[in-house]
Amino acid sequence: MTAPEAIALPRSSARRRGSLGPFAIAWLLLAVVVVLATMLGTTSIPASAVLGAIWNHLPLIGGGVSVEQGWERIVIDVRLPRVVTAGLAGAALASSGAAYQGVFRNPLADPFLLGVASGAALGAALGVVLPIPALGYSAVPVLAFVGAVIAVVLAYTASRTGATVSNTSLILAGVAIAAMAGAATSFILLTSNERALTIFGFLFGSFNAASWPRALTALPYLVVGITVLLVYARVLNVLQLDEEQADQLGVDVSRTRMAVLTAASLTAATAVAMAGVIGFVGLIVPHVVRIVFGVDYRRVLPLSALLGAVFLIAADMLARTVLRPQEVPVGIVTAMVGGPFFLALMRSRLGALR
Amino acid sequence: MTTTTSTDTLLRLRDLEVRIGDASIVRGVSLDVRRGEVLGLIGPNGAGKSTLLRAATGLLPLTHGTVEVAGAPLTQLDRRARAQAIAVVQQLPEAPPTMRLAELVLLGRNPHLGLLARESAHDYAVAQDSMERAGCADLADRMLGTLSGGQRRRAFIARALAQEAPLLLLDEPTANLDVQAQCEIFELIRALAANGAGVLVVVHDLTLAATYCDRLVLLAAGSVVAQGAPHEVVTSANVARVYGDRVTVINDPSHAAPIVVPARAGDGGNP
């Protein structure tokens, strides 16, 4: 192999657009949207105060910037936990969506495919109506998480024959479990009177219960889940071929699928427990990333996480500002704004392939 | 073929039987693929060719018999070791239409990479070399969805080469290709064998098989009907027995291998 040939491939193919460019852009976008979303609200706070307040609260190095007391409190105690929660949920939903689409080789797969959303909704509904004084209000996210995990475990168990799980039976089992959990949630809604509104809030997704303790509780699950997904990114590329080819290229398809689905479900369940059922993020963000940056999962997964965070922080910013002081459920914003954008991008892509 | 030692035999099937449910799809099949040769597997639809290929790569469990790859029983190899020893190109392999050709070829390096590994400069060099050998290096940047049938075949052969496996199994590499592309693909296969690979190729076109393969195995109803040099296997008697009497075998002195042509009912026998 001569040197020019050896470098021809990376330059001409997967690394064509440069390996750092997209990530630098994504991090920059994230920084901008974090500051912007923290500035906007009932009281507008200047960017300098936002940055100062954040700097003052950085561990070890931070402190010393004088920021108006009231603004600092709003930034640190009110807006930032909400922005961080939205960012974490967006990263979780988009990366798990990308992983589901990769494992099922189905562009319509989303993080809620295996009953995560309906299981979480049922758990949340139970948390709202059942008196569990020991847990207090935090019963809702905990039970939502438990409900999501139970739904996915049931879907796995029901569709397993021996050591293998077929994609089709997994999806069918997920649909059946979603239908049952959905029916139970509807029944609770019908009989819960004035508490129904709280449950509805969960079903459409919202960040108004965001707090530092909640975000920090969710963090370890998200770190573990997303890290496992990133580890499997290269193998997910092989899985984009059919199962037989992946096997012939040395991939243990069943084990890989299990690992990825477990990590993705954990990640999605955590997001749902934090913020309720927010549709569309896990579907469109990975597709936008694929359309713009190509199909290599080593880009698709991390970029989906970053841009999912950007997208959901921006959507939540709109959700709490467009009808100020009233809030719109963030799930409505993600669909109303993300939908047309996605359709336009898809059309232009179809034109390019033709 | 000169005398062969055991290390020259890359694939050795002995008395293979594969049952799917109650049906015996393949039985009593023994064959060897040696280093540097192209072995053609021929036979009518449903003869068990693809089943045999899949059993030989460990995708289907054997009911009876043994498969040895370069002297080692297939059952003793784990998935990655197997993928380092055998490279397979399926009949119509799936891949995302927006995947670029070079990305596909790089997937052939997977058997050599651990879970946490990244492709090294060496892996990129092997992929580049594989594309050049398969004659598709100029298409490296193209999306798979934009390739012609022949180009697509080259892309998957390049991926198989990137595995650096001594044994290549190709399931109908010329299906759906025009006659020029068929010849080009088989010239490529011959070049790979000349470089030391052992190739087992499933072929439907008997003339093509007889022209390009060193030896042929004729399979019918799951059993070997004949094996040997092309002119020993593609004979009027064998062909009539397996494909019926609508097919004529011509031994034309201008062509080294037998030519198989369809004969319309009522046209009579050999000219």
Residues of B in contact with A238 (CB under 8 A): 107, 110
Strand-pair partners of B143: B100
Residues of A in contact with B99 (CB under 8 A): 240, 295
Best mutation target, A249, A288, A292, A300, to test chain B (most B CBs within 10 A): A249
Where would I find the H helices in A105-166? 116-129, 139-159
Strands B259-262 and B247-250: antiparallel
Question: Are A231 and B115 an interchain contact pair (Cβ–Cβ within 8 Å)?
Answer: yes
Cα–Cα distance for residue pair B253/A95, rounded to 1 Å: 65
Structure confidence by residue, pLDDT tens digits, A154-169: 988 888 776 666 778 8
Determine how many CB atoms are found less than 10 A away from the CB of residue B143. Answer: 18
Q: Find the length of chain A.
A: 354
Examine the pLDDT at A5 and tell me if it is beyond 60: no
Residue B69 is inside which H or E element, if any? Answer: strand B64-69
* B227 Ramachandran zone, left/alpha/beta (phi>0; psi -120 to 50): beta
Q: Is A5 on the interface with B (CB under 8 A)?
A: yes
Q: Among A1, A241, A244, whose Cβ lies nearest the Cβ of B129?
A: A1
Q: Which residues contact B189 (CB under 8 A, 6 or more apart)?
A: B38, B168, B170, B173, B199, B201, B212
Rg (Cα) of chain B, in Å, rounded?
Answer: 19
* Cβ atoms of B69 and B77 closer than 8 Å: yes
Q: Which of residues 264-293 of A touch B (CB under 8 A)?
A: 290
Q: Among B111, B132, B140, whose Cβ lies nearest the Cβ of A249?
A: B111
Structure confidence by residue, pLDDT tens digits, A196-211: 777 877 788 888 888 8
Q: Which residue of B has its CA nearest to A256?
A: B115
Q: Which residue of A has its CA nearest to B138?
A: A12
Q: Which residues contact A305 (CB under 8 A, 6 or more apart)?
A: A91, A92, A94, A95, A226
Structure confidence by residue, pLDDT tens digits, A64-107: 788 888 888 899 998 999 999 999 999 999 999 999 999 888 77
Q: Is B194 on the interface with A (CB under 8 A)?
A: no
pLDDT for A352 equals 58
Residue A262 is inside which H or E element, if any? Answer: helix A253-275
Examine the pLDDT at A195 and tell me if it is beyond 80: no
pLDDT tier at A132, thresholds 50, 70, 90: low
Q: Is B255 on the interface with A (CB under 8 A)?
A: no
Cα–Cα distance for residue pair A290/A107, rounded to 1 Å: 11
CATH code linked to domain A20-57+68-348: 1.10.3470.10
Q: Among A7, A234, A250, whose Cβ lies nearest the Cβ of B111?
A: A250
pLDDT tier at A243, thresholds 50, 70, 90: confident
Mean pLDDT of A271-280: 86
Q: What is the dihedral of CA A85, A89, A91, A97, to 10 degrees?
A: 180
Examine the pLDDT at A300 and tell me if it is beyond 50: yes
Strands B167-171 and B86-89: parallel
Cis previous bond, A59, omega within 30: no
pLDDT tier at A13, thresholds 50, 70, 90: very low
Q: Which residues contact A146 (CB under 8 A, 6 or more apart)?
A: A123
CA angle centred on A108, ends A107 and A109, rounded to 5°: 95
Q: Which residues contact B111 (CB under 8 A, 6 or more apart)?
A: A249, A250, B80, B83, B84, B163, B165
Q: Is A251 on the interface with B (CB under 8 A)?
A: yes
pLDDT for A16 equals 46
A101 to chain B nearest CA, in Å? 12
Question: Are B121 and A251 an interchain contact pair (Cβ–Cβ within 8 Å)?
Answer: no
Mean pLDDT of A275-289: 89
Cα–Cα distance for residue pair A239/B235, rounded to 1 Å: 44
Please state, in angstroms and as integers, the Cα–Cα distance from residue B161 to each residue in A2, B127, B143, following that order.
19, 8, 19
pLDDT for A20 equals 62
Q: Among A245, A247, A290, whose Cβ lies nearest the Cβ of B79?
A: A247
Q: Is B132 on the interface with A (CB under 8 A)?
A: yes
Q: Among B83, B100, B103, whose Cβ lies nearest the Cβ of A248?
A: B83
Residues of B in contact with A14 (CB under 8 A): 100, 102-103, 106
Rg (Cα) of chain A, in Å, rounded?
Answer: 21
Q: Which residues contact B244 (CB under 8 A, 6 or more apart)?
A: none
Strand-pair partners of B219: B224
Residue B234 phi, psi (nearest 5): -85, 80
Q: Letter for the amino acid at B158?
A: A
* Cβ atoms of B87 and B197 closer than 8 Å: no
Structure confidence by residue, pLDDT tens digits, A17-37: 455 689 999 999 999 999 999
* Cβ atoms of A310 and A33 closer than 8 Å: yes
Classify burial at A268, counting beta carbons within 10 Å of its beta carbon; exposed 0-12, middle 13-18, buried 19 or more: buried
Q: What ipTM was reported for this prediction?
A: 0.87
Q: What is the dihedral of CA A323, A328, A331, A337, to 10 degrees?
A: -10
Examine the pLDDT at A2 and tell me if it is beyond 60: no
pLDDT for A4 equals 38
Q: Which residues contact B132 (CB under 8 A, 6 or more apart)?
A: A5
Determine how many CB atoms are found less than 10 A away from the CB of residue A92. Answer: 32
Q: Which of A42, A63, A45 has the alpha carbon at shortest distance from A54?
A: A63
pLDDT for A81 equals 94
Question: Are A16 and B141 an interchain contact pair (Cβ–Cβ within 8 Å)?
Answer: yes
When the pLDDT of each residue in chain A is averaged and rounded to a whole number, the result is 84
pLDDT for A84 equals 96
Strand-pair partners of B29: B16
Question: Are B102 and A5 an interchain contact pair (Cβ–Cβ within 8 Å)?
Answer: no
Best mutation target, A2, A13, A292, to test chain B (most B CBs within 10 A): A13
| pLDDT per 10-residue tile (average), chain B, 271 residues | 62 93 90 95 92 90 92 91 94 90 96 90 95 94 93 95 95 91 93 94 94 96 94 92 88 86 66 47
Q: Among A1, A242, A250, whose Cβ lies nearest the Cβ of B110?
A: A250
